[in-house]
Amino acid sequence: MDLVQIARSNLEGFRYAGTEVALCVLIVALLLSGVILPFRKNRRLFLIISMLGLALAMTASLKQPGAGKGVRYFADLFLWDSFSVFFKLFFVAAAAFTILMAQMNREVEDYEFNECCLLVVSVTLGMVLLASSVDLLMIYLAFETMSLLSYLLVGIRFREARGGEAALKYVLYGAFTSGVMLFGFSLVYGLAGTTDIMEIGRILNSAHMAGQNRALFVLMVLFFLAGLLFKTASFPFHIWCPDVYEGAPTPVTAFLSVGPKAAGFAVFIRLFYTLFAREVGDQGFAAIEQVDWPAIVAVISAITMSLGNLSAIHQDNVKRLLAYSSIAHAGYLLMGIACLDKLGLEAVAFYLVVYLFMNLGAFAVVTAVNNGEGGEDIRFYRGLSARAPMACVAMAVFLFSLIGIPPFAGFVGKVFLFSAVILKKYYWLAIVAAINTVISLYYYVRLIKAMFIDQAEVSFEPRVSGVSYAVIGALALPTLVLGVYWQPLAAFIESIF
């Protein structure tokens, strides 16, 4: 491409980059309104600005590309296809719920709220770019945009012991793993001589590579996995997860458990299904011959879910409990990636949507209980149903959905995942996942029992505001509806792969 073509491509690209532009405008708007306007402590103002900006971003990403492989834009660094549109919508929605939760949360001080919104929107920008970029350089930059700013979000409570520890652990693990992943990128680049992942995919999957050295491919796959498993909080890079989730302010924790995790899965699918696999027939993919990475992912998936669920059993801190539960869910989601067919990917995307609602919902209730004199310990949940019945019922809905009990959305998501795994004849993995579901029943129900059956241990008056109820309700509704009427979402997701 010569310079004129590139300039034209950069200009025309804005037609497809509505979401990114809207988010950038929102960042600037938040920054300026925080500096110029005399109401720095006015949470409502920043909330309204953020919601308007995110609504704009949402509408900008609604436009669907038609059939075919999508459009390359911004000098071929980005791809506009249904896959990226789906994830853009997902991330913007996650950001909107996070800011709503932060607004009602007392852990984020009034004078910090503006910056908190700004950081959440910037992380979202990173995730949106990540979902649509198809160039190793851009993928890495978007990945780091997302990571660096989420370290800062965790570090909002830096001066408090727990917050500082969480932020430091997150930075150190994150820097290490993304460095390793970058090394993997460099190996791929050295072998293919280009950073365009579609092109690299063609080269790596060509017959010409067949006799190529296996050790190099194993290293490449392992190095890529390091960065991706860290982001998705999977074994063996899950150790940071409970401490970071506990130390960060609850809305940030909720955001991390959904946003960057889903971004990790998005880039996982994009990289592995483009670089290390090729499409075969209508529904399937074939992994490259040199390394059997689906088997590696399947084993990691089994270990991750077992570790997450077994460690969750003895947790008394609800945030830690949800952290381990989020590790376990990363394991379930990895099952779908290991399937190596479109059914598995659809199951992952569907489960991510369901997970967005149920997990954010559970954290929204935790945020509400945290306000006032409440806390994160299970003590505060004992006998809570007498004082905050609606919140407890909603929490029970979210937890039952996380277990995967009908008629909630989590059940449908698990059915899709399990059926994809069984159709692929990974019977051992399905059995491990089933056992894990039973284990998870124990600790989720323990929390439900505490809320509804146990006697109150600490008497405090939970102050659940109207906004909190609205947010919790807005999250509980899809958890219920998707459990009985999932067809439209399933059809939409079928169209993206």
Partner 1 sequence: MKNFAFNVFVIITLIPSFWVALSSNIVHAAFSLFFTFFGVAGLYVLLGADFLGVLQVLVYISGILVLIIFGVMMTQRAQMEHISTRLPGRFAGAVLSVLVFGGFMVAVYKTAWPKLTELPEPVPTTSEIGNLLLGKYLIPFEVASVLLLAVLVGAALIVRQSVRKE
Query: Which of 46, 50, 58, 74 contacts partner 1 by CB under 8 A?
Result: 74
Query: What minimum distance in Å lies between the beta carbon of 206 and partner 1?
Result: 13
Query: What minimum distance in Å lies between the beta carbon of 239 and partner 1?
Result: 13
- CB nearer to partner 1: pick between 158 and 469: 158
CA 462 to chain centre: 29
**The residue to which tokens 């005399």 are assigned:** 38
Q: Of 212-220, 364-372, 376-384, 464-472, which part binds partner 1 (CB under 8 A)?
A: 212-220
Query: Which of 40, 51, 106, 144 contacts partner 1 by CB under 8 A?
Result: 144
Q: Where are the alpha helices (DSSP H) in 313-405?
A: 318-338, 342-370, 389-403
Count CB atoms within 10 A of the CB of residue 214: 10
| 75 backbone dihedrals φ, ψ, rounded to 5° | 55, 40
Query: Which of 29, 51, 218, 303 contacts partner 1 by CB under 8 A?
Result: 218
- CB nearer to partner 1: pick between 124 and 479: 124
- CB nearer to partner 1: pick between 145 and 401: 145
Count CB atoms within 10 A of the CB of residue 419: 14
> What's 175's DSSP letter?
H
Q: Is the bond preceding 236 in cis, omega lying within 30 degrees of 0?
A: yes
Q: Of 208-216, 279-287, 405-413, 456-464, which part binds partner 1 (CB under 8 A)?
A: 208-216
Q: Of 6-14, 372-380, 422-430, 451-459, which part binds partner 1 (CB under 8 A)?
A: 6-14
CB-based contacts of 9, cutoff 8 Å, min separation 6: 1, 73, 74, 75, 76
Binding to partner 1 by residue 118, rule CB under 8 A? yes
Q: Of 99-107, 187-195, 267-275, 295-303, which part binds partner 1 (CB under 8 A)?
A: 187-195
d(CA 409, CA 362): 14
- CB nearer to partner 1: pick between 159 and 425: 159
Specify the length of the chain in residues.
497
d(CA 171, CA 360): 24
Supply 150's token pair: 């989420």
Binding to partner 1 by residue 77, rule CB under 8 A? yes
Binding to partner 1 by residue 175, rule CB under 8 A? no
| Cβ atoms of 228 and 268 closer than 8 Å | yes
Query: Which of 37, 137, 172, 280 contacts partner 1 by CB under 8 A?
Result: 137
Count CB atoms within 10 A of the CB of residue 306: 18
Nearest to 361 by CA among 65, 100, 28, 5: 100
- Judged by the rule CB under 8 A, the positions of this chain that interact with partner 1 are 1, 3, 6-7, 10, 13, 24, 27, 31, 74-75, 77-78, 111-112, 115, 118-119, 122, 125-126, 129, 137-138, 141-142, 144-145, 148-149, 152-153, 155-156, 158-159, 187, 190-191, 193, 212-213, 215-216, 218-219
